[in-house]
Structure 1
Amino acid sequence: MSQTTFLNRQALFLRPDPTRVVVRPFKPATEPRDLKPTDKTRANHIVDRVLGLDSEVAELQLAEILENFEGRHRNLLATFEKRANEMEEAFAPHIAFTKVQRQLVGAYFMHEYSFEASALFNPSIVAHADQSGVPRGSKRFILSLRAVGEGHVSSLTFRSGIVDQNGTVDIEPTARLASIPSFDNPSPSSPDEPLELKFSSEQPISERVIFPMTAAQSNGIEDARLVEFEEAGQRTYYATYTAYDGRDIRSELLETKDFLSFRMTPLAGTAAKSKGMALFPRKIDDQYAMIGRQDNENLYLIRSNDLHVWNGGEIILGPKFPWEFVQMGNCGSPIELDEGWLLLTHGVGPVRRYAIGAALLDKRDPSKVLARSKEPLVHPEPSEREGYVPNVVYTCGAMRHNDQIVLPYAICDTFSNFSTIKIADLLDTLTG
C-alpha cells in the first residue's frame, strides 16, 4: 500500500508566526571581569538614569511604552512591577522613588521574544480532559508543539482542537496574546529541585508558553512527548522532554492535571542522560515503563519503581531495514491496542533522510516485538523536503480515535500538519 493511499492527509498546517511574542526579563551584557564588589553594575547605571528623570518625563515615557506595547501583552504594568521587585539591589542606593519610576525601571529590564519565529514542529497529542459539548464520535484534544525563536531557543506551546468521527481534524483559533507562567519557586535552591509553574484560567491554552527557566533548560525545552497516564482511577498528563543548556542534555518530566498548573522535575539515573524517552500510559506488572534510546542507535525498554529515577534497560529494537540504518528512535508514548502496544518509531537513512515507522509490542511483556515496519509509514514527499532541516518528518506522539490513529507530524523541522491512519491498515503493513 503506497503512502498516498495509506495516509489520509489533512489540509491543515500549523506554521510559525513571528507576530506572537512573550515579554521576558532582559539582562545587560556580561560585566567586566575586574568589577569590584563596590563598583556599580550596568544595571545600577540604568536604574540611576531612569530614576534621574524628571517625574513628568518619566510619566510620559511610561505612557509611550504602554501605548506601544500594552495591546501585545496581558497585565503589562503588573509585569513591569514584578520585574522591578526582582531588582531590589539596584534600587537600594536610592532613598525614594515613585511607583511610576519602579514600573519604568521594570520596562527597561524586559524585552519581547518571538518564540515561534523560526519553527513550530515536533507535535504531540492527547485527549482533552474536558469532552463536554463534543459531538458524538468526536474527540477534543490538546496538542503540544516545540516552538523555536531567535538564537534557536526552544519552548513549549499548545493548541486545542477536535477530531470528528470521520477523522477530520480542526484546530481552534490561536490566541492573539502569548504569556509565560508565574512561578512558585523561580530560583530553585538545587538544580534537581522541581519547578512549579502556573497559568491563569483567563489564558486560553494557546496563549500558554512554557519558556526555559533553569540553567539546564537555558537553550531549550525540546520535543515533549505527551501521554495521558492512568493510575488508581486518576488521570495525570505527563510529558518527557529534553532540557538543553547549549552543551549538555538531560531528560526531564512535565506533570499536570489541568494544563494550568505544571511541575517540571529532572529525571535521575543512567537512562535519563539521553534524549527521546517516552512513558507508557500505565504501569506494567506494577512498574512504570519507558521507551528510550541510550546509544544513538537502538530502542530500549526501561522499567522503574520510581517515576523520577530510570536506570539500565534492555534493547528491544535496532536498525534492520535500509530506511533506519543510521539510527532509530521513538516517536512518542506507546498506544494501547487490543493487539498490543503500538510504538511509532523514526528511522534515519541515506542522506540523513528521516521517516516514521511502527512496531507492535506484546501487551503483557513489551520487551517482545511482535511485528514492525519493513517500509516507513510516512516519509518526506517531494513537496515536503524543503525547510530548516531538509528531508525530515517527525512526531512526538499520536492518539487513538475510534478505529484510527491521529498522527500530527512535523516537516523539515519547520511546520506541522496532520494525517490519520486506519488502525487495521497500519497493522496490515507490519511484518513479524
Structure 2
Amino acid sequence: MSIKATRTGIVLRPDPTRVLFRPFELGSSTRTLKIIARVGSMTDEEADKKLNEVIREFGGRHHKLERFLLQRFEQIKPHLLTDEPLELDRKLLLGAYFTMEYSLESAALFNPSMIWHPDQTNVPPGYKRFILSLRATGEGHVSSISFRMGYIDEEGQIVLRKPSRYVTAPEIVPDQRFKRVQFERKLYELRLENSIQEKMMTGLGEEFTLAELEAQVRRISAQYRYNAEYETIAAGLTALARSNYEIDFDDDLSLDERCIFPTSPNETNGIEDARFVQFTDDNGDVTYYATYTAYNGRVTFPQLLETKDFTHFRVSTLSGAEVSNKGMALFPRKINGKYAMISRQDGENIYLMYSDDLYIWQTKELLLKPTHHWEYVQLGNCGSPIETEAGWLVLSHGVGPMRKYAIGAFLLDLNDPGKVLGRLTEPLLSPDENEREGYVPNVVYSCGGVVHGRELIIPYAMADYASSFATVNVDELLAELTGTIKPELTQAVVV
C-alpha cells in the first residue's frame, strides 16, 4: 500500500490589502513634463490641501511614505525646467503624482518554501520557529517574494503568525564589484561577446563597478551614436550588470513586512519559485541561499539569492554551460568538496550537477526519467534535498494526464547522490476536489519542506492560487522508499 501525506487543513490565501508603493512610470517624457507643469500651476493653498489629502489617505497604509515620495521627486527632478528651489511640500506632492500602490499578492500566493528561522531565541522547549517564503503575484502577473513566519509547537502543530498590515520593498544597492572573468563568461553565454563588447570594456580592470562600466559604455556609445548594433550591445552589458545587485531592508521591519520585488532588467516580469535552503559550509558558516527564476517576458534566467540575516541580500546571475531552464535546487552542504544541485535543463528529466564554483555550473548527469504514469509528461524537484541518515530525501513533482501535477519523493545516496536508493511509484500528494480550482487547475507544488522530529512538513501550493501544508512520517516514508529500512532504526538529521 502506497504512503500518502496528511493534509493539515491550513489554507493561506492571497491578501489584496497588503500593498506597497511603487514608481508610477508613464513611459513618456512629454506626459511627465505636462504633469509637472500642472502641479506647478497649483497655488500654495491648493498644493497644501492636496498633499494633506494624500498623507491622510495613504499615510496609515505604509511605513515611511514621505521618504519614498522624496525619492520619487529626486528621480523625476531632471525633468524640471529650472533650478528654482522648491519647498518640501511641493516636492512631496510631485513625488505623489509619480507613485502608485501595488497589491503584491492580489492574484495569488503560492509555491512556498519552508526553512528554519535563523533566530530561535525565546522559543519554548519543543517549539521551533520557521520562515515561509511564497511567490506573491499581483497586477500584470508580476511575481515577487513574500514572507510569513510561524512555529511548530511541542505537539507538532503548525501555527502561522498573522502578517503585518504593512509591506515594504528594500533599498537597492547596484554598485557592487564585478569579476571580469565571470562577467565575460556570461556575456559569451548571452551571445554578447564580440569586438564591440571588447571595445566597451577596454580599460576596465579585473574587477570593476557598475558605475565604471556604465561610464565606459557611455563614452564608446557617444562615438557611434545612432548605431543600432552598438546600442544593442550597450543595453545588454548594462542589463547584465544590473541583474547582479544587493538589497537592504530597514532593521526595524518585521520579516513579514519585507518584500523582494523585481528590480533588474531580467526580472521585469517577475521573480518566480524561490527555493530556499540553509547551507552550511565546511567551516560551519551558515548562509541562506535561494535559487529562483528571473523572467523578463521572453527569457528565463536562473539566479541566486543569498543572505545571512534576511535583512541584507545579494542577487547574482548564475552562469555556465548548464545554467538553463527552471527548477534548480541547491544541496544544503558540499558533497565531496563540491557544490551540488538538482536541476532540469531539458524540461523533462531530473539531473545532478556538481561545481567548484557556486556561481558557475558547466556539467550535468542524468538522474531520473519520467517512469510512472503520473509523471510521464515531466519530472522536477520540489525543493532542496533534505539530509537524513538513510540518504538525501528529495521531494519531486510529476506531471501526468490533463497536465495534473502531483508531489512524489525519491532517495539518494549520501556520499554519491548519483545513486538512486528508492523512488515512490505513487504520489504522496495529488490535488483533491478542494485544491483543483484556481489560477492553474489541477496543480499541487512545493519549493521545499523541512523535517521536524519524526515528521516531514510539506508546504504546498494549490492550483497556483493559495497555499497549505501536509505532513508525512519520515520513518514510514523512508521505509516505503527503500523497502528495507526498519523504521525504528531510521533517524532524520534535523539542522
Q: TM-score range by the shorter chain?
A: over 0.9
| Equivalent of 2:292 in 214, 218, 241 | 241
Deviates further, 126-135 or 294-303: 126-135
Amino acid at match of 1:100: D
Deviation at 1:2, TM superposition (A): 6.0
Deviates further, 379-388 or 67-76: 379-388
Matched, 1:23 2:74: no
Deviation at 1:91, TM superposition (A): 2.3
SS of 2:239's equivalent in the other structure is coil
Percent same amino acid among aligned pairs? 49
* Equivalent position of 2:11 in the other structure: 13
Native 8 Å contact 1:183 1:195 kept in 2 = yes
CA deviation profile, 1:271-308 (whole Å, cap 9, x unmatched): 22211000000001111010000001101101111111
Q: Mapping of 1:154-173 within 5 angstroms?
A: 154-173=143-162
Q: Mapping of 1:121-136 within 5 angstroms?
A: 121-136=110-125
* Equivalent position of 1:344 in the other structure: 395
| Equivalent of 1:65 in 36, 51, 54 | 54
In structure 2, distance between residues paired with 1:339 and 1:69: 54
Native 8 Å contact 1:374 1:431 kept in 2 = no
Q: Mapping of 1:127-206 within 5 angstroms?
A: 127-185=116-174, 190-193=238-241, 194-206=244-256
In structure 2, distance between residues paired with 1:119 and 1:152: 9
Deviation at 1:41, TM superposition (A): 2.3
Matched, 1:289 2:340: yes
Amino acid at match of 1:108: Y
| Equivalent of 2:103 in 114, 118, 121 | 114
Q: Mapping of 1:222-301 within 5 angstroms?
A: 222-231=272-281, 232-301=283-352
* Equivalent position of 2:264 in the other structure: 214
CA deviation profile, 1:318-376 (whole Å, cap 9, x unmatched): 10000000000010000000000001100000000000000100000101111001000
| Structure 2: runs of 5+ lacking an equivalent | 177-209, 215-237, 484-495
* Equivalent position of 2:85 in the other structure: 96
Higher strand residue share: 1
Native 8 Å contact 1:334 1:342 kept in 2 = yes
Higher helix residue share: 2
Runs of 4+ more than 4 Å apart = 186-189
Native 8 Å contact 2:323 2:361 kept in 1 = yes
Amino acid at match of 1:230: T
Amino acid at match of 1:191: A
In structure 2, distance between residues paired with 1:7 and 1:394: 13
Deviates further, 105-114 or 180-189: 180-189
Task: Count residues in correspondence.
Answer: 421
In structure 2, distance between residues paired with 1:17 and 1:274: 30
In structure 2, distance between residues paired with 1:121 and 1:175: 18
* Equivalent position of 1:317 in the other structure: 368
Deviation at 1:166, TM superposition (A): 2.9
In structure 2, distance between residues paired with 1:384 and 1:65: 41
Deviation at 1:186, TM superposition (A): 7.8
Going from structure 1 to structure 2, the CA distance change for 1:186 and 1:113 (only over 3 Å counts) comes to farther
| Equivalent of 2:414 in 363, 369, 381 | 363
Amino acid at match of 1:290: M
SS of 1:386's equivalent in the other structure is coil
* Equivalent position of 2:479 in the other structure: 428
| Equivalent of 1:386 in 434, 437, 440 | 437
In structure 2, distance between residues paired with 1:247 and 1:185: 23
CA deviation profile, 1:189-228 (whole Å, cap 9, x unmatched): 5333321111112111111111101110010100000000
In structure 2, distance between residues paired with 1:225 and 1:253: 10
* Equivalent position of 2:184 in the other structure: none
Amino acid at match of 2:274: A
* Equivalent position of 2:194 in the other structure: none
Amino acid at match of 2:290: A
SS of 2:434's equivalent in the other structure is helix
In structure 2, distance between residues paired with 1:254 and 1:195: 10
SS of 1:191's equivalent in the other structure is helix
Deviation at 1:92, TM superposition (A): 4.6
Native 8 Å contact 1:165 1:402 kept in 2 = no
CA deviation profile, 1:375-409 (whole Å, cap 9, x unmatched): 00010112211111111000000011111111100
In structure 1, distance between residues paired with 2:463 and 2:58: 33
Native 8 Å contact 2:148 2:256 kept in 1 = yes
Native 8 Å contact 1:297 1:327 kept in 2 = yes
In structure 1, distance between residues paired with 2:341 and 2:154: 31
In structure 2, distance between residues paired with 1:229 and 1:197: 20
In structure 1, distance between residues paired with 2:417 and 2:155: 31
Query: TM-score, normalising length from structure 2?
Result: 0.83
In structure 2, distance between residues paired with 1:261 and 1:12: 31
SS of 1:175's equivalent in the other structure is coil
Native 8 Å contact 2:2 2:426 kept in 1 = no
Native 8 Å contact 1:51 1:97 kept in 2 = no
Amino acid at match of 1:130: D
In structure 2, distance between residues paired with 1:2 and 1:59: 69
